[in-house]
C-alpha cells in the first residue's frame, strides 16, 4: 500500500511543482528588451531563485521547486544570449 501512496503523493507534488513554476513565470508578465541585450535579466532571476532554493535547504521539496525555477530561467538566459548573437 505504501508504494501506491508514495506514487500518488509524488504525482500530486509534480502537479504542484509544474503549476508553481508556470505561475512564477506568468507573474513576470511581458518583458521587453533591446535587440542585443541577451539573457542578463533571466540570469539575475536564476540567481535569485537559486539563492531562495539554498535558503530553503531544510525543506527539500520547496528547494527542489525553486531550483527548477532557477534552472528554467538559466535556460532562458542561454537562449536569449544565443538570439542576441544571431542578431549581430
Q: What percent of the chain has pLDDT over 70?
A: 89
What is the domain extent for residue 79?
Answer: 2-87
pLDDT band at 1 (very low <50, low <70, confident <90, very high): very low
- The arithmetic mean of pLDDT across residues 20-45, rounded, is 93
**How many domains does the chain divide into?**
1
pTM as predicted: 0.83
Strands (E), 1-88: none
Cell numbers for 57, please give them.
535547504
- Residue 15 is predicted with a pLDDT of 87
How far is Cα 83 from Cα 3, in angstroms, rounded to an integer? 45
Amino acid at each position: 500500500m505504501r508504494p501506491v501512496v508514495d506514487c500518488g503523493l509524488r504525482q500530486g507534488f509534480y502537479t504542484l511543482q509544474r503549476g508553481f513554476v508556470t505561475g512564477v513565470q506568468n507573474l513576470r508578465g511581458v518583458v521587453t528588451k533591446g535587440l542585443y541585450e541577451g539573457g542578463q535579466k533571466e540570469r539575475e532571476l536564476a540567481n535569485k531563485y537559486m539563492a531562495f532554493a539554498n535558503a530553503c535547504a531544510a525543506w527539500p521539496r520547496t528547494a527542489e521547486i525553486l531550483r527548477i525555477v532557477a534552472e528554467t530561467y538559466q535556460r532562458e538566459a542561454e537562449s536569449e544570449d544565443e538570439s542576441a548573437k544571431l542578431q549581430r
